[in-house]
A = this chain, B = another copy of it.
Amino acid sequence: MDDLREKKGFIFDLDGVVYVGKTPVEGAVGTFAYLRETGKKVRFITNDSSRKRVSYFAKLRDMGIECSKDEIINSSQGVAIYLENKYKEGKCFVVGEEGLVDELTQHGFEVVEGKDGERADFVVVGVDSGFDYEKLTIALRAVKNGARFIAANPDVSRPREDGLVPGAGAMVAALEACSEIMPEAVIGKPNPMLFDIAVKEMGLRESEVAGVGDRIDTDIVGGNRFGLYTILVLSGITKKEDLKSLRGEKKPKLVLKSIAELRKLL
């Protein structure tokens, strides 16, 4: 089933694919309306662990893109599901923002702060604009005391309105360095877990799903490894001149200027 027309489900990355910052990609609204009309299933996956899932839902609706809350999957939810499946319960020390705290709490985990963090069962690390030496010290002591170290995603940096800022991967690297312990799991793309949640929730098989993203190392590599039909769009971080050197698992099945073109191919 290697024909795009036969795909029953589509997994979209968000920033750089559906919108860029606060602006929807031109033609995005029409593409999603068309996907709904033709009965295609849709999921949105983001490696960003900082915001609550409901905030993405609200953002898409405000842009005129119909979607339900359950169609959005982020790395915070992935972390919470991973911990729930593997350990059921426990205390978490979080290097991260409200998106991560919210998902962990909703899945029955206790989030501890300050000195109590040193005795946590899990240290969960996502991007955190409140990251500081004190948090790093607590995280260091917790993992040295035996806490399991879980990374929400591997992205080392990300664009912000005012310029480039560090991503979760920078906080993960700091903790890896001082503790000399590697994370037990890195949940975000290219890790297959979020794709797996999306495909299972749609009730489809990998071969029936296309994955659409703007980043090679997360969206395309992750999608290829998981067995999706991968579509790279050039509306985000990857530019036309980056395409020459793509081989093996970095090579997308299809390259489009943006998701506006997707509609014409279905």
User: Interface on A for B, CB 8 Å cutoff?
Assistant: 128-133, 136-137, 140-141, 144, 156-157, 163-167, 169-180
* CB atoms of B177 and A136 under 8 A apart: no
State the CA gap A167–B178 with chains docked (Å): 7
CB distance from A119 to the nearest CB of B (A): 12
A133 contacts across to B, CB distance below 8 A: 128-132, 165-166
* CB atoms of A172 and B165 under 8 A apart: no
A177 contacts across to B, CB distance below 8 A: 156, 166, 169-170, 172-174
CB distance from A116 to the nearest CB of B (A): 14
A157 contacts across to B, CB distance below 8 A: 140, 178-179
- Of all chain B residues, the one with the shortest Cβ separation from A135 is B132
State the CA gap A144–B173 with chains docked (Å): 18
* CB atoms of B136 and A156 under 8 A apart: no
A132 touches which of B132, B163, B170, B176 (Cβ 8 Å): B132
Number of copies: 2
A170 touches which of B129, B164, B169, B174 (Cβ 8 Å): B174
| A-B contacts, 15 listed (Cβ < 8 Å) | A131-B132, A131-B133, A132-B132, A137-B166, A140-B157, A140-B166, A140-B170, A141-B164, A144-B164, A157-B178, A167-B178, A170-B178, A173-B174, A173-B177, A174-B177
State the CA gap A180–B157 with chains docked (Å): 9
* CB atoms of B178 and A169 under 8 A apart: yes
Instruction: Pick from A132, A140, A174, A179 the residue with the most CB of B within 10 Å.
Output: A174
- Of all chain B residues, the one with the shortest Cβ separation from A115 is B162
A131 contacts across to B, CB distance below 8 A: 132-133, 136
- Of all chain B residues, the one with the shortest Cβ separation from A179 is B157
A179 contacts across to B, CB distance below 8 A: 157
- Of all chain B residues, the one with the shortest Cβ separation from A174 is B174
A137 contacts across to B, CB distance below 8 A: 164-166
CB distance from A164 to the nearest CB of B (A): 6
State the CA gap A164–B131 with chains docked (Å): 18
- Of all chain B residues, the one with the shortest Cβ separation from A169 is B177
CB distance from A159 to the nearest CB of B (A): 12
- Of all chain B residues, the one with the shortest Cβ separation from A170 is B178
